[in-house]
Structure 1
Amino acid sequence: MSDVSSAEEATAKHGSSTAESIKSFVSGGVGGIAAVLVGHPFDLTKTRLQTAAPGTYTGAIDVVKQTVARDGATGLYRGVVPPLLGVTPIFAVSFWSYDMAKLLIYKVTPNRSSQDLSIAEFAAAGFLSAIPTTLVTAPVERAKVLLQVQGQGQGGPQYNGVFDVVKHLYKEGGVRSVFRGSTATVLRDGPGSAAYFAAYEVTKKLLTPAGADPSELNLGAVILAGGTAGVAMWSIAIPPDVLKSRIQSAPSGTYSGFLDCARKTIAADGVAALWKGLGPAMARAFPANAATFLGVEASKKLFEKYL
């Protein structure tokens, strides 16, 4: 088989048709919904640790105790509506963008010796996937963060829900206010997505028996690979995530940008503040992302079976 035909075979395998694009889009959305249902309490805990004044909480367990005492168990799902409303487009765009980025890599490297992408190429596709995804992620997370920090003693407006948040933000500063934190989101999700998808693909290959296709892995292996991907992402994403949370939750004018937020955070709370929320983020990383990829792969199999 020639190099060109090998690349063409890979292109066909990864899907260039409209049907394959739709499959990637919808499957990503299903995976995202699974991730939110499993991971939101961990995410709320992380965000409150990152944004609360020093001394508010003694740690992640204290966040949970205070939240449940004040709002009941349902308080752990405060702010869940924005990610649930936005999760389908966020994850749908992410997984669609990832598949399109892989296809792009094949197209710009026609004289390949192998149709298998390298670890660096998987990482590059993951990084590229974060760029269009930010258009959806940034405003959804802006609303989510504001709802999550509400009720922990901070001043500022009190919102009745996600639509009230968006209405207030737009009235306050237009589209710019709604999209505050976009730079921090890209700086978090670019490297994070590179690690995320590369770790998933590498782990799948390691778990695949000789002569078998990674796409035929059982669900247990998918869960392990997905959980590993989540751990890989959050191992490097916490510092920009801390800054993103602070930028998105602070009153207008508090920070002039990402670097200003980093400087003021370190000056006020020390370098260790950049790793606030690491515990709950890592606790969430495995189960939430195992659920994500389980949802993605299971929905793809349903597509293949019935469509």
Structure 2
Amino acid sequence: LENGILFMAYGQCQNMMCFLRHKTDHEQLNPLENMAAGSFAAVFSSIALCPTELVKCRIQTLNEVQKMNSLNGENIIYKKISPINITRNIIRTEGIRGLFHGLTTTLVRECPGYGCFFGGYELTRTLLMHKNQKKEDIGFIKTWISGGMAGICFWIVMFPIDAVKSRIQVFKPKMNFPKYTLQIIRNEGFMVLYAGLLPTLIRTFVATGTLFITVEQTRRFLNKIF
């Protein structure tokens, strides 16, 4: 769902960017213009992503609490933890707005993150093109590499923000994003924000490379049909 919304919005934002920059085709957009289109597209995916991310974090936290209580020998019976139950509880106790707790921090992450994501993809495709070649004709391997670089660009820039966002959604500190980030750095050091980055980069290179190949091939297939 998230990727569907994101890529649909990205295409429309590219159209908007073409209109604003008086260009007739997406191929004419430079990496910075594609980066701007990606950032704006992320607004739509963030609205869809925030509630599901919040519920996921709450479930993970409750599961950890149950495990800790079990290890401590506490005989406590919990209700079944499910996404539906968690969602109902949030709506009942915090209202619909509660599902969007952390939306601001999600936007802080997603907008620049997906700007780097799409900007990195388009820049890599541009660098891998031969002279007078279209980006869509660079081939399977170069598209896969470009997609992998998109994922790396995203996570190198956004990994610290994602770490702070997850903590905010779980612990709900009574301070704003910058102050909470500084508190984490002060107490645990800056590199704690990059804990687990390397496995993420390896995984994302393969995954996003495959994602972009799928998107490009699907686009070609649909263009032939319609």
TMscore range, shorter length: 0.7 to 0.9
Report SS of the residue matched to 2:33.
helix
- Tell me which residue corresponds to 2:145: 224
Q: Which portions of structure 1, spanning 4 or more consecutive aligned residues, are displaced by more than 4 angstroms?
A: 153-159
Q: Contact 1:119 / 1:202 at 8 angstroms: preserved in 2? A: yes
Using a 3 Å threshold, how does the CA distance of structure 1 residues 111 and 136 change in structure 2: closer, same or farther? closer
Aligned with 2:212 (options 293, 296, 304):
293
Q: Distance in 1 between matches of 2:57 and 2:173?
A: 16
Q: Contact 1:159 / 1:165 at 8 angstroms: preserved in 2? A: no
Q: Which moved more, 1:236-245 or 1:205-214?
A: 205-214
Using a 3 Å threshold, how does the CA distance of structure 1 residues 188 and 159 change in structure 2: closer, same or farther? farther
Using a 3 Å threshold, how does the CA distance of structure 1 residues 180 and 277 change in structure 2: closer, same or farther? farther
Unaligned stretches of 5+ in structure 2? Answer: 70-77
**Cα deviation 1:228-260 (Å, max 9, x = unaligned):** 10001101001110111101122xx53333234
- Tell me which residue corresponds to 1:186: 107
Aligned with 1:177 (options 82, 85, 98):
98
Using a 3 Å threshold, how does the CA distance of structure 1 residues 302 and 109 change in structure 2: closer, same or farther? closer
Q: Distance in 2 between matches of 1:261 and 1:139?
A: 21
Q: Distance in 1 between matches of 2:56 and 2:102?
A: 12
Q: Distance in 2 between matches of 1:98 and 1:134?
A: 13
**Cα deviation 1:206-243 (Å, max 9, x = unaligned):** 22333332113332222111111000110100111011
Aligned residue-pair number:
216
- Tell me which residue corresponds to 1:136: 48
- Tell me which residue corresponds to 1:272: 191
For residue 153 of structure 1, report the CA deviation from its aligned partner.
4.5
Report SS of the residue matched to 1:264.
helix
Q: Contact 2:6 / 2:42 at 8 angstroms: preserved in 1? A: yes
- Tell me which residue corresponds to 2:159: 238
The one-letter amino acid paired with 1:99 is: G
- Tell me which residue corresponds to 2:84: 163
For residue 163 of structure 1, report the CA deviation from its aligned partner.
1.6
Q: Distance in 2 between matches of 1:277 and 1:159?
A: 30
Q: Does 1:262 align with 2:174?
A: no
Q: Contact 1:131 / 1:186 at 8 angstroms: preserved in 2? A: yes
- Tell me which residue corresponds to 2:3: 91
Q: Distance in 1 between matches of 2:159 and 2:189?
A: 15
Unaligned stretches of 5+ in structure 1? Answer: 1-87
For residue 279 of structure 1, report the CA deviation from its aligned partner.
2.7
The one-letter amino acid paired with 1:101 is: C
Q: Contact 1:123 / 1:198 at 8 angstroms: preserved in 2? A: yes
**Cα deviation 1:37-63 (Å, max 9, x = unaligned):** xxxxxxxxxxxxxxxxxxxxxxxxxxx
Q: Contact 1:238 / 1:277 at 8 angstroms: preserved in 2? A: no
Using a 3 Å threshold, how does the CA distance of structure 1 residues 305 and 102 change in structure 2: closer, same or farther? closer
Aligned with 1:302 (options 216, 221, 224):
221
Report SS of the residue matched to 1:199.
helix
